Amino acid sequence: MGLHGSFMALAHSPLGHAMQTSRWAFAVVEMVHLLGLAVLGGSVLIVDLRLLGVILKGESAITISRELSRLLIGSLLVMVLSGIALLSEEAGKCYYSPAFRWKMALLAAAVIFYFTLHRQAILCTRRGTLKLWPRIAALVSLLLWLGVGVAGRAIGLL
């Protein structure tokens, strides 16, 4: 099954059918998506601003990142699940939408970055002095996540 086939399969799935025929499902799921956005954004901001040395300077970046990881991953999960439901409602449109493709690319980059280089950069801070690499990682992270948000908005506007 090609990419287009996968999108169509989602559209024709029970989830897709439910989302397309319901008069309120899309609105409700979209609201959940927004609530997830608020929490995900807040978590990312706190972790990355700490890495940049802007806030909570007296506290360990490793502690903060670890403590917020569940909130971050949890809200990300909420967004992914609600996002799949939203996608099932308009799979064809998303397939052809450049904004959607950008969003998915940036999302993949942001998630992969979070679990790899970003995590490594946080561990770098163990040695105490704030090195350059954690700050760069924080900036990259913030830009990637911002990109996901902007691209997401663009889906509906273009």
Partner 1 sequence: MPILQHFCETLYHSGFGTMLRESNNAFSVIESVHVLSITLLIGTIAVLDFRMLGLILRSIAVSSVARSVMPLTWSGFAVSVMSGFLLFWAEAEKMYVNPSFRAKLVLLALAGINALVFHRTIYRRAQEWERQHVSPWRARATAFASLMLWSGVIIAGRAIAYF
Partner 2 sequence: MKARFAIASAFWISTVTIPAYAHHSFAAEFDINKPVRLTGKVTRVEWTNPHTYFYIDVVDASGKVTNWGIEGPSPGALSRRAWGKNDLKVGDTVVVEGYRAKNGSNTANGRRVTLPDGRSLYGGSPGDGGPGDDGTDQGNLPATGTNK
| Joined tokens for residue 154 | 């663009």
Question: Which span (17-25, 33-41, 122-130, 140-148) binds partner 2, by CB under 8 A?
Answer: 17-25
Nearer residue to partner 1 within complex by CB, 11 or 86:
86
75 Cβ partners below 8 Å, 6+ apart?
Answer: 36, 37, 39, 40, 43
Cα angle: 150, vertex 139, 131; to 5 degrees: 170
Least separation in angstroms between residue 105's CB and partner 2 is 18
Binding flags for partner 2, 75-114, as an x/- string (CB under 8 A)? --------------xxxxxxxxx-----------------
How far is residue 83 CA from its own chain's centroid?
10
Return d(Cα 84, Cα 95) in angstroms, integer. 13
Check residue 129 for interaction with partner 2 (CB under 8 A): no
Least separation in angstroms between residue 4's CB and partner 1 is 28
Q: Which of 13, 15, 20, 78 binds partner 2 (CB under 8 A)?
A: 20
Which alpha helices (H) appear in the chain, and where do they start and end?
3-12, 14-21, 25-51, 61-89, 91-96, 98-113, 119-124, 132-157
Question: Which span (14-22, 50-58, 106-114, 126-134) binds partner 2, by CB under 8 A?
Answer: 14-22
* Contacted entry of partner 1, partner 2, none for residue 92, CB cut-off 5 to 8 Å set by kind: partner 2
